């Protein structure tokens, strides 16, 4: 729960449905009027499923995690489902078949994702959250029982009309029976959660709409009850590019895969055209606060106050306020507004990961001029000496003393690092190798 902002109960809104609408979190739903009424007048049990197809969740999942949290803050009861069985199958992708992972790997990923999901939920009070695993009700199910009890309620004609299935059927690779059957398994999840916990609402991304409605239709056919599904829009940048990708790599919630420093910088670099929408979707800031940040973005964009607020809030939600404060301290130190020697080693390494880098052997350290040349902060030894004479070079935040400046072992950060700066913006990292 650390880092979660409890200002989600925005008095501007009369009900959570209106808030979801204002934040742009509703792309499609089964019955908007009935769902608004249910969310306003009843306490609903709802769920979102997360498949362990990787060791960590990413930014696309974060939308759903925060949606779960918003609904819980509004008084509704969440079920966090980790797909121990659906993760063994794999949700159909747009392009090609998934590579099936081993049971051992999937089991490890189930535990990893469970820990990430739990951070965003409260397990106390009248609407305490519960974690569930669909392997619990599928592991002992025989193929005959599955076909007789569940499969008979699905029509192939309807299944092949689902958008992603239709795309795959029309592709060269086609789709296997395994992935084709995924929607049946997800539909069965909703039915099981309806029976066990009275769950009447499933949320997910709009690209999952076919799978979501498989569950609502199954419950209607088997139980004769109408339940709800809601799909949030897929997030894209204002220029049309896919959100959450950085040079082809996903932004992960696991700090081992995407460091808190890189995570914070991702949000800090949000374009002015996107930042207000990101604040609505990824923070718990109130409408009044977001409107004020929108005004500042329009009138004083150079201050980047909206981006700073966004980066701090989201990084705190995912990694905690302590890690976020360390990240900010690292940024300040790198740009000469803090003590770079005070940074712990993981934060220093993450903060300097994108800098030009040179390695030197342990022993007698070369002169600073040689280090400038090795890191390409200078194009020649004479140029390096000129920079030093002019006082334009610092080492670990301290100005280098003259053109013959040297460094000693005691100058090394954590016994192995030197951060060089030439001028205000040109920086590099030197690592001393044993």
Query: What are the binding residues?
Result: 47, 182, 186, 245
Number of H helices, E strands in the chain: 20, 13
Closest CA to 22 of 237, 244, 212, 290: 290
Is 231:204 a contact under the CB 8 Å cutoff? yes
Phi-psi region of 233 (alpha: psi -120 to 50; beta: other; left: phi over 0): beta
Q: Using H for helix, E for strand and C for coil, what is the string for 148-215?
A: HHHHHHCCHHHHCCCHHHHHHHCCCCCCCHHHHCHHHHHHHHHHHHHHHHCCCEEEEEHHHHHHHHHH
Q: Which strands, in side-by-side order, build the sheet including 28-29? A: 28-29, 228-232, 201-205, 45-50, 77-82, 130-133
d(C-alpha 203, C-alpha 358), whole Å: 49
Closest CA to 78 of 24, 16, 15, 122: 122
> Which residue in the block uniquely carries the two structure tokens 């013959």?
404
Annotated binding site for L-tyrosine: 47, 182, 186
Closest CA to 401 of 412, 414, 392: 392
Q: Which helix (H) or strand (E) holds 222?
A: helix 209-223
CA of residue 206 relative to chain centroid, distance: 17
β-strand pairing of 77-82 with 130-133:
parallel
Is 419:396 a contact under the CB 8 Å cutoff? yes
- 3-state SS, residue 86: helix
Supply the DSSP symbol for 236: B
d(C-alpha 318, C-alpha 324), whole Å: 9
33, 37, 39, 40: CA torsion to nearest 10: 130
Annotated binding site for ATP: 245
Separation in Å, CA 259 to CA 114, 264, 305, 312, 321: 20, 9, 23, 14, 14
d(C-alpha 260, C-alpha 253), whole Å: 9
């Amino acid at each position: 729960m650390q880092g979660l902002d409890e200002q989600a109960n925005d008095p501007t809104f009369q009900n959570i449905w209106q808030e979801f609408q204002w934040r742009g979190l509703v792309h499609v739903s089964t019955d908007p009027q009935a769902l608004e009424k249910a969310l306003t007048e009843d306490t609903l049990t709802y769920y979102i499923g997360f498949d362990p197809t990787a060791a960590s969740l990413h930014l696309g999942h974060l939308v759903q995690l925060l949606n779960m949290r918003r609904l819980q803050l509004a008084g509704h009861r969440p079920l966090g489902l980790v797909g121990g069985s659906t993760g063994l199958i794999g949700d159909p992708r747009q392009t090609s078949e998934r590579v099936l992972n081993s049971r051992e790997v999937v089991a490890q990923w189930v535990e990893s994702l469970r820990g990430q999901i739990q951070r965003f939920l409260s397990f106390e009070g009248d609407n305490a959250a519960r974690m569930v695993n669909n392997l619990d009700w599928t592991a002992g199910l025989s193929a005959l029982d599955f076909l007789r009890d569940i499969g008979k309620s699905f029509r192939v004609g309807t299944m092949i009309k689902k958008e992603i299935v239709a795309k795959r059927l029309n592709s060269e690779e086609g789709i296997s029976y395994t992935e084709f059957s995924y929607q049946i398994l997800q539909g069965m999840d909703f039915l099981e959660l309806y029976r066990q916990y009275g769950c009447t609402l499933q949320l997910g991304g709009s690209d999952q709409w076919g799978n979501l409605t498989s569950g609502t239709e199954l419950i209607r056919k088997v139980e004769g009850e109408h339940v709800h599904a809601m799909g949030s829009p897929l997030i894209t940048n204002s220029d049309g590019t896919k959100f959450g990708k950085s040079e082809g790599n996903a932004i992960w919630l696991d700090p081992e895969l995407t460091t808190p420093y890189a995570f914070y910088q991702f949000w800090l670099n949000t374009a002015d055209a996107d930042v207000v929408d990101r604040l609505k979707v990824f923070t718990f800031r109130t409408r009044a606060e977001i409107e004020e940040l929108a005004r500042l973005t329009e009138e004083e964009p150079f201050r980047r106050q909206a981006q700073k607020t966004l980066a701090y809030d989201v990084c705190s939600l995912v990694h905690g306020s302590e890690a976020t404060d360390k990240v900010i301290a690292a940024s300040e130190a790198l740009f000469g507004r803090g003590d770079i020697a005070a940074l712990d080693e993981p934060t220093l390494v993450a903060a300097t990961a994108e800098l030009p880098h040179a390695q030197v052997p342990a022993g007698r350290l070369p002169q600073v001029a040689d280090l400038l040349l090795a890191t390409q902060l200078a194009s020649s030894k004479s140029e390096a000496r000129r920079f030093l004479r002019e006082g334009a070079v610092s080492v670990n935040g301290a100005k280098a003393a003259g053109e013959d400046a040297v460094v000693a072992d005691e100058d090394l950060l954590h016994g192995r690092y030197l951060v060089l700066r030439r001028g205000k913006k040109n920086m590099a990292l030197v690592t001393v190798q044993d």
